[in-house]
Structure 1
Amino acid sequence: MKNRPQYALTSVDHALRLAVLLQVEGPLSVSDAAERLGVARSTAHRLLSMLVYRDFARQGEDRRYHAGPVISLTADSQSRTALLRTVAMPHLHALVGRLNESANLLVLAGDYARFIASVEGTQALRVGTREGMVFPAHLTSGGKLMLADLTSDERAELYAAERWDGREDDRPDLGALDKELAVVRDRGFAINKDRTESGVTAIGRGIRVGDRVEAAVTVSMPTVRFDESRLVDVVSALALTARDIEHDLQDALRVESHP
Structure 2
Amino acid sequence: MRNQTGGTLSSVDNALRVLELLSVRTSLRVIEVADHLGVARSTAHRILAALLARGFVVQDAHKIYRPGPAIERFRLPHLGRPRATEDLVHPHLERLAAAVGETCHVAVLEGNGTRFLDSVESFQALRVGNRIGMLLPAHKTAIGIVLLAELPLTTLRSIYPRGLTGDAREAKQTLVALEGKIRTVRRTGYAVNMGDSDVGICAIGMCLRDPFGRAFAGIAIAIPTPRFDRKSTQELVRELSNTAEAVRQEMAQGLTLESPVSSGGAAHSPLADN
TM-score range, shorter chain: 0.5 to 0.7
- CA distance in structure 2 between the partners assigned to 1:196 and 1:258 by the alignment: 45
2:53 matches 1:83 = no
Partner in structure 2 of residue 168 of structure 1: 167
Partner in structure 1 of residue 240 of structure 2: 238
Query: What pairs up with 1:63-78 in 2 under 5 angstroms?
Result: none
Gaps of 5+ in 1: 1-70
The secondary structure found in structure 2 opposite 1:157 is helix
- Displacement of 1:158 after TM fit? 1.2
Q: What do you get for the CA RMSD once the two structures are aligned?
A: 2.8
Alpha carbons of structure 1 residues 211 and 236: separation in structure 2 relative to 1, 3 Å: closer
Taking structure 2 as the reference length, the TM-score comes to 0.61
Partner in structure 2 of residue 184 of structure 1: 185
Partner in structure 1 of residue 110 of structure 2: 109
- 4+ runs deviating over 3 angstroms: 76-79, 166-172, 250-259
The secondary structure found in structure 1 opposite 2:125 is coil
Cα deviation, 1:212-231, whole Å, max 9, x if unaligned, reads: 22211100010000001111
Alpha carbons of structure 1 residues 81 and 127: separation in structure 2 relative to 1, 3 Å: same
- CA distance in structure 1 between the partners assigned to 2:132 and 2:256 by the alignment: 27
2:230 matches 1:228 = yes
Match of 1:247 among 246, 249, 255: 249
The secondary structure found in structure 1 opposite 2:187 is helix
- Displacement of 1:175 after TM fit? 1.7
Cα deviation, 1:25-79, whole Å, max 9, x if unaligned, reads: xxxxxxxxxxxxxxxxxxxxxxxxxxxxxxxxxxxxxxxxxxxxxx9x99x8685
- CA distance in structure 1 between the partners assigned to 2:176 and 2:101 by the alignment: 37
Alpha carbons of structure 1 residues 258 and 199: separation in structure 2 relative to 1, 3 Å: farther
The one-letter code matched in structure 2 to 1:102 is: T
- 1:84·1:249 contact (CA, 8 Å) conserved in 2? no
- CA distance in structure 1 between the partners assigned to 2:252 and 2:116 by the alignment: 21
- CA distance in structure 2 between the partners assigned to 1:207 and 1:251 by the alignment: 16
Larger Cα-atom Rg = 2
- Displacement of 1:198 after TM fit? 1.9
Alpha carbons of structure 1 residues 82 and 249: separation in structure 2 relative to 1, 3 Å: farther
Cα deviation, 1:158-181, whole Å, max 9, x if unaligned, reads: 1123x98x9438967222211110
- 1:218·1:238 contact (CA, 8 Å) conserved in 2? yes
> RCO (CA 8 Å, sep 6+): is it higher in 1 or 2?
1
Partner in structure 2 of residue 146 of structure 1: 147
Partner in structure 1 of residue 94 of structure 2: 93
- CA distance in structure 2 between the partners assigned to 1:211 and 1:233 by the alignment: 23
Alpha carbons of structure 1 residues 153 and 241: separation in structure 2 relative to 1, 3 Å: same
Percent identical pairs in the alignment equals 32
- Displacement of 1:236 after TM fit? 0.5
- 1:126·1:222 contact (CA, 8 Å) conserved in 2? yes
Taking structure 1 as the reference length, the TM-score comes to 0.64
Aligned residues: 185
Alpha carbons of structure 1 residues 251 and 82: separation in structure 2 relative to 1, 3 Å: farther
The one-letter code matched in structure 1 to 2:217 is: A
The secondary structure found in structure 2 opposite 1:138 is helix
- Displacement of 1:254 after TM fit? 5.5
- Displacement of 1:208 after TM fit? 1.6
